[in-house]
């Protein structure tokens, strides 16, 4: 296995403002200097980076420049993260415009994984048909991503249509997309990460790691919280997963450079050594 780090640790996430009136222009973006973030991830000892699709937009006409920055720091692009509403049929044509652009950027950058999060929650709460509509749309996105050479997966997320365990089950019953198991989001949503990984072991396509303070739902560096990460890794290995492990620590109030180093040390102490760094 190889270890990557999500760029959103240094800057968090915002959205492109044009999406208020133009759905097709909406992208996640981490503010800040992408050069410094790449350097910080490399300095912490990782061999890969994941980032939001919106952070590739400035390089849309010069994607080789971004790839050169990544490669000059000894990194690979493990994944690109995107998101959407999914549940509104009338909006899907415009959403696909954005996803097609996003997929093209990720593929041109040489990313391996294409991670899809989100799924809007109505003001009145989810409706049963929302899962069917979202599931069918995720299948379309996944097919287009695979056609571009990417490995697509869906990331259950707090505040989305698939937060609680029954919601995750409802969505995955309606789609064939792979699972990106973000263990902290699953736990914070009331689920058991080990049980979810075991249940969907044949669909485990990608892994996001961070630890969790289960009293406050605050995200923490690996080994600093309440999750049984040893049991989680055992479930990942039992599922036959041998791909990128990506640490993601958004919203952490401590020193992010130190947190990245601590998480990598934790991973290495689990003897999951990174051959790209050995």
pLDDT in tens, 75-89: 999 999 999 999 999
User: With bands split at pLDDT 50, 70 and 90, how would you rate the model's confidence at 271?
Assistant: low
Residue 249 has pLDDT above 90, yes or no: yes
**d(Cα 142, Cα 154) in Å, to the nearest integer?**
9
- Nearest partner of 4 among 31, 33, 44, judged by Cα: 44
Residue 29 has pLDDT above 60, yes or no: yes
Residue 276 has pLDDT above 90, yes or no: no
In the predicted model, what is the mean pLDDT of residues 166-172?
A: 98
In the predicted model, what is the mean pLDDT of residues 35-41?
A: 96
More confident residue, 144 or 23: 144
**Count of alpha carbons within 13 Å of 94, Cβ hemisphere only?**
15
**d(Cα 262, Cα 197) in Å, to the nearest integer?**
24
In the predicted model, what is the mean pLDDT of residues 4-28?
A: 93
Q: Which domains does the chain have, with CATH numbers?
A: 3-269 (3.20.20.150)
User: With bands split at pLDDT 50, 70 and 90, how would you rate the model's confidence at 64?
Assistant: very high
Residue 278 has pLDDT above 60, yes or no: no
pLDDT value of position 275? 44
pLDDT value of position 270? 83
**d(Cα 8, Cα 16) in Å, to the nearest integer?**
15
Query: How do residues 173-227 score in pLDDT, each as one tens digit?
Result: 999 999 999 999 999 999 999 999 999 999 999 999 999 999 999 999 999 999 9
Under 8 Å CB-to-CB from 265, ≥6 apart: which residues?
A: none
In the predicted model, what is the mean pLDDT of residues 41-62?
A: 97
**d(Cα 82, Cα 12) in Å, to the nearest integer?**
14
Task: Give 177's DSSP letter.
Answer: P
In the predicted model, what is the mean pLDDT of residues 124-131?
A: 96
**d(Cα 136, Cα 138) in Å, to the nearest integer?**
5
């Amino acid at each position: 296995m190889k270890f990557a780090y999500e760029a959103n640790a240094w800057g968090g996430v915002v959205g492109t403002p044009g999406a208020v009136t133009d759905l097709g222009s909406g992208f996640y973006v981490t503010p800040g200097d992408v050069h410094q973030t790449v350097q910080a991830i490399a300095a912490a000892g990782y061999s890969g980076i994941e980032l939001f699709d919106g952070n590739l937009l400035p390089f849309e006409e010069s994607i080789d420049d971004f790839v050169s920055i990544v490669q000059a720091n000894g990194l690979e692009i493990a994944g690109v993260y995107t998101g959407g509403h999914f549940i509104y049929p009338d909006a899907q044509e415009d959403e696909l415009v954005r996803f097609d652009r996003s997929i093209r950027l990720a593929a041109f950058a040489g990313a391996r994984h294409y991670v899809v999060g989100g799924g809007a929650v109505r003001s009145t709460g989810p409706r049963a048909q929302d899962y069917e509509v979202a599931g069918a749309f995720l299948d379309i996105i996944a097919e287009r991503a695979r056609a571009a050479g990417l490995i697509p997966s869906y990331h259950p997320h707090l505040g989305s249509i698939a937060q609680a365990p029954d919601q995750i089950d409802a969505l995955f019953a309606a789609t064939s997309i792979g699972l990106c198991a973000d263990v902290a989001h699953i736990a914070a949503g009331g689920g058991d990460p080990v049980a979810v990984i075991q249940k969907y072991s044949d669909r485990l396509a990608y892994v996001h790691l961070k630890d969790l303070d289960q009293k406050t739902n605050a995200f923490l560096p690996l080994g600093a919280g309440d999750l049984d990460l040893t049991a989680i890794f055992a479930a990942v290995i039992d599922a036959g997963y041998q791909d990128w492990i990506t640490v993601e620590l958004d919203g952490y109030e401590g020193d992010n450079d130190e947190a990245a180093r601590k998480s990598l040390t934790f991973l290495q102490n689990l003897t999951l050594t990174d051959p790209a760094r050995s």
